[in-house]
């Protein structure tokens, strides 16, 4: 089997006995929703919603710098990203600047106020993640990340 091929499907689930409470997908969703809720509560005092802090974090860390990259990384469509950026711009947290090299490209940059607000996000994320990982050893944490990355790679291989 080459690196680009995905391994054969695992035989862990069967339609006749499948229950959501034992589904990895359901469990991952519950973990994620709990973290989203907790992060939202902690960022509410600085006026950020889940939909708003995610693109700010992507801009702050340099993982995205255009509207298209934000949409792709935030897992939303470009139209929703544009509406979100409208709200962030209205708050004075970012600005869109058309590329001088390619007029089709719209760059997004944090304002000084946006950089200040975004600088609080990594600390909140670290606190929430560490609380969710209470009792895990460093080895378990490393293994969990590896297993999740493998699931992501399997999904990507299925799509190609």
- Structural class in CATH, domain 47-117: mainly alpha
User: Domain map of the chain by residue range?
Assistant: 47-117
> Of 126, 60, 117, which Cα lies nearest the Cα of 92?
117
Tokens read off for 100: 């001088």
**pLDDT value for 7:** 79
Asked if residue 125 lies in contact with residue 146, where contact means CB atoms within 8 angstroms, the answer is: no
User: Tokens 């959501």 — which residue?
Assistant: 20
**pLDDT value for 103:** 85
Using DSSP, state whether 21 is helix, strand or coil. Answer: helix
Report, as ranges of residue numbers, the positions in the chain whose pLDDT lies below 70. 1-4
Answer left, alpha or beta for residue 92, where phi above 0 means left and psi between -120 and 50 means alpha: left
CB 127: neighbour CB atoms within 10 A?
13
Cα–Cα dist 142/13, whole Å: 26
Using DSSP, state whether 107 is helix, strand or coil. Answer: strand
């Amino acid at each position: 089997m080459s690196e680009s091929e995905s391994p054969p499907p695992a035989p862990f689930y069967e339609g006749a006995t499948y229950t959501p409470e034992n589904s990895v997908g359901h469990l991952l969703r519950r973990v994620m929703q709990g973290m989203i809720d907790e992060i939202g509560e902690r960022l509410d005092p600085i006026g950020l919603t889940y939909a708003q802090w995610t693109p700010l974090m992507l801009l702050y860390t340099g993982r995205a710098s255009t509207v298209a990259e934000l949409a792709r990384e935030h897992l939303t469509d470009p139209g929703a990203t544009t509406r979100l950026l409208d709200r962030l711009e209205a708050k004075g947290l970012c600005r869109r600047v058309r590329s001088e090299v390619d007029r089709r490209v719209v760059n997004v940059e944090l304002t000084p106020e946006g950089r200040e607000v975004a600088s609080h996000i990594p600390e909140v994320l670290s606190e929430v993640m560490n609380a969710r990982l209470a009792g895990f050893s460093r080895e378990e944490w490393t293994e969990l990340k590896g297993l999740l990355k493998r699931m992501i790679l399997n999904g990507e291989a299925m799509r190609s």
